Amino acid sequence: MSSNGNATSSPPIVVQRHGAVGLVRFARPEKKNALTTELLTSLAGVLEELDRDPEVRAAVITGGPKIFASGADVRELRDVEPVAYATSDRVACWKRLNAIELPLVAAVAGIALGGGCELALLCDLVVAGDDAVFGQPEVALGLLPAAGGTQRWARAAGRYRAAEVVLAGRKLDAIEMRDAGLVATVVPSERVEEAGLALATKVAAGAPLALRASRASVRASEELPLSAALDAERARLLMLLSSEDHREGIDALLERRPARFEGR
């Protein structure tokens, strides 16, 4: 893995290090960055490597300034049997992606459709180019968005907006996504990677243990009843109270200096 912006290519993905931020860029724009099993396998492996690296505190996923990612390569799904799909590497890759603990920022330009849209929604924050388009066209193929599309749309935007996107095939542009609370900021498409890195760098400035605990608590809101989620939140706070980083953060504030977090 390269550092300080020097890229190494591992098709179909390019990985860079920018300080404490890992940048993961899809490298097949001529194929609309279709989420083939090969690409998903590579993506899961790269993010797992970044997730294990104590020097990395956030990651950006992008397709560059032209296109984020279209959906699956439909040829992979044309004749697949249900049992084979359920046990496929493709399904395993989505489970691996869901298990990543590192804060993730999606930097989306152009289309983010089908699995590409689901991947953006899997991330914690989304920066969108002004030409970005999000949608779930699966019903037109006799399918449904089963990599989190039905659930994340409903939880993030509400059941009625989810039905509009999933059932009626409505596509949302970047401004509509921002107004719906699904996109953090909209920038010119040629600046989307820069803006994603800037946001991830801001995230990465936080204490590493607190970042992961806070991310886990936010995500628990999608899965747990409120009382259970509050209990889990307090349990994570108790863990953080025993960390060196929390004392360093308070000392830095009182001494009016930048904090030096060690992830301990």
State whether the Cα torsion 80-112-220-241 is positive or negative: positive
Grouping H, G, I as helix, E, B as strand and the rest as coil, residue 102 is coil
**Of 107, 21, 57, the residue nearest 261 (C-alpha):** 57
Long-range contacts of 209-214 (CB under 8 A, 24+ apart): 209/239, 209/240, 209/243, 209/245, 209/263, 209/264, 210/240, 210/243, 210/245, 210/246, 210/249, 211/57, 211/58, 211/103, 212/101, 212/102, 212/103, 213/237, 213/239, 213/240
Residues serving a catalytic function are: 72, 115, 118, 138
